[in-house]
Every structure is written in structure tokens, then in C-alpha cells.
Structure 1
Amino acid sequence: MAFYTKTGFGPDCSLGYLARRIHQIGQSLIEPVFVAEGLSGTQWSALMSMMAGRAATCADLARDLSHDKGATTRLVDAMEQNGWVTRSRASDDRRVLNLELTPDGEAVAIRCRDRIIEYWNTLLTGWDRTEIETLIELMQKLRTTLDDALTEGRRA
């Protein structure tokens, strides 16, 4: 049985709208952390993606951030100019650019991460641990559902 109906559908129950608004509001609240460190939220996401082992190449990073290759190249250019990443050609395939965090890149990512953890913990003061864990589990489940749909080519 379908969950959504024409009469019951609106922004307050739309998963897409709610996810977008939560992301927009959350980004605007934590942006001062990035500004204080001289980077953008997207740059921090890229550094964290690399630090978590999710991206070792420009192509990996583009996929993980859902960026096109041109935008990712510009992003990596800026991070390299700031001394946060290095890139080198793979020895077995010259088309592949390997990325590596520099000590400065790792340090700035960790400083931002620690301040963001502190801020989120402040925001979630009124939530109990079970609520937060349930929300994370449900968001992970939704991410998997959407990733599967994308992989299978099930677009609207």
C-alpha cells in the first residue's frame, strides 16, 4: 500500500523537502565554523570524505559529494592551493588522480569536526539517545534505498 496520497502530500511530510530544509538550515548554522578556518562547507566535506577513506581519487570524491568532475577539479584545485591535499597521477593509469590529505588538511578537518560535534551536541540537548540513534538508522536506511534506486536507474 502506498504511503503518500494526493490529498495528504505537502512540504511538512515530504521527505525531499524536509531533507533539503534540514540540510540548508544545518549548513547555515555551522557555516561560521568553516569561515573561521578559511574553508567552505564543501571543502570540509571533501576533507572528511578523504579522512574517512571514502575518497582516494578525484572520481571517488565526485561520487561521494555528488559533484560533477569539473566542480570536483575546481574544489581539489582550491584545497591543493591551501595546502590541505596533494594529488598525484596513478602509476598504472595516468588518467587517475590520487588524492592525499596533508597534515594541515587533516588538522583543519579535525578542528572543524570537533567544533561541529560540540555544536550538534548542544542542539540535540533535548533529545534522548534512542531518538538520535533511531533518526540516524532511518536516515541511513533511506540513503541506502535512494542509492539502490540510483544504481538501478529508477528515476522519476
Structure 2
Amino acid sequence: MAFYDSASFERDRAIGYLLRVCSQHGMAQLDRAFADEDLTAMHWATMLSIALDRDATCAIVARDMAYDKGAMSRMIDVLEARGLVRRERNSDDRRCNNLTLTPEGAALTERCRLIALALWNEWLEGWSDEEVTLFIAQLQRLHRTMEAAGPCAA
């Protein structure tokens, strides 16, 4: 039996709406939290993705973040111009550039990671460890389900 139907649909119970609004609020709050570092939440998320993936390329980071490859390439251009990211030719495939953080980029990524963790803990204040663990597990399950469905055929 389907959970949603047109008769009982309410915006404040729609998972798409709630995920989008939470994401937008979260990114805006991270933007403000990173303002002193002159970094946006998307810049930081990109740099974090590079830091966590030893084989990072523009395409891999774009896929990891569900972001357009062209827009990601432009974001990497900005981060590279600021001296935070470095492109290096892949020795196995000369058409491909591996991405790494510069020492300055790695330090900035870590400073912002600590800011983000503090903000996330603030959002979850009053939640029990069990509630947070269950929430994360449910989001991971939804993520796997959505990934398995594949890209939209629009």
C-alpha cells in the first residue's frame, strides 16, 4: 500500500519538500558560519569530497555531490585560482585530472569541518543518540533506494 495519495497529501509531510527545505536552510546556515573563512558551503563540501576520496576527479566529485559536471568544473576553477585545490594529470589517463587539496586547502577544510560539526550538533541538541542514529540510518536507506532507482529520465 502506498503511503502518499492525493487526498491525504500535505506539504509539511512530503519528503521531497522537507529534504529540500532542510538542505536549503542547512546550506544557508553553513554559508553564514563559513563567512569568516571566505568560503561557501558548496566550496567546503567540494573540498571535503576531494579530501575524502584519494582518486578524486571532477566527475567523481560531481557524482558524489549529485552536482552538474560543468558547474563542478567551474567550482574547481575557482578553488584552484584561490590556491586551495590542485589539478594533476592522471598518469594512467592523460585526459583525466586528479584533484588534491593544497596544504592551505586541507587546513581550511579542517577548520570548516569543525565549524560544521558544531553547527550540526547545535541542530541536534535535545535529540537522543538513539534518535540521531535512527535518523541517519533512515536517511542512508532513502539514499540507497534513490540511487538504486537511477537517474531521472526527464
TM range (shorter): over 0.9
Counterpart of 1:119, as a letter, is L
Unaligned stretches of 5+ residues in structure 2: none
Cα deviation digits, residues 42-87 of structure 1 (max 9, x gap): 1100111111227611110111122222211111111111111100
Unaligned stretches of 5+ residues in structure 1: none
TM-score (norm 2): 0.92
Residues 23 and 147 of structure 1: is their aligned pair in 2 closer, same or farther, counting only changes over 3 Å? same
Partner of residue 127, structure 2: 127
Counterpart of 2:49, as a letter, is S
- When structure 1 is superposed on structure 2, of 131-140 and 91-100 the one drifting more is 91-100
- When structure 1 is superposed on structure 2, of 59-68 and 15-24 the one drifting more is 59-68
Helix, strand or coil: the match of 2:110? helix
Alpha-carbon offset, residue 122 of structure 1: 2.1
Map 1:73-152 onto structure 2 (within 5 A). Answer: 73-150=73-150
> Does the Cα contact within 8 Å between 1:54 and 1:61 map onto a contact in 2?
no
TM-score (norm 1): 0.91
CA distance in 2, matches of 1:95, 1:147: 27
> Does the Cα contact within 8 Å between 2:11 and 2:17 map onto a contact in 1?
yes
> Does the Cα contact within 8 Å between 1:49 and 1:61 map onto a contact in 2?
yes
- When structure 1 is superposed on structure 2, of 16-25 and 6-15 the one drifting more is 6-15
Counterpart of 1:147, as a letter, is E
Counterpart check, 1:60 vs 2:48 = no
Residues 154 and 108 of structure 1: is their aligned pair in 2 closer, same or farther, counting only changes over 3 Å? closer
Counterpart of 2:26, as a letter, is G
Alpha-carbon offset, residue 107 of structure 1: 0.7
Counterpart of 1:115, as a letter, is I
Cα deviation digits, residues 87-110 of structure 1 (max 9, x gap): 012122221111011111111111
Cα deviation digits, residues 13-40 of structure 1 (max 9, x gap): 1110000011111122221222211111
Counterpart of 2:74, as a letter, is R
Aligned identity (percent) is 41
Counterpart of 1:75, as a letter, is M
> Does the Cα contact within 8 Å between 1:149 and 1:155 map onto a contact in 2?
no
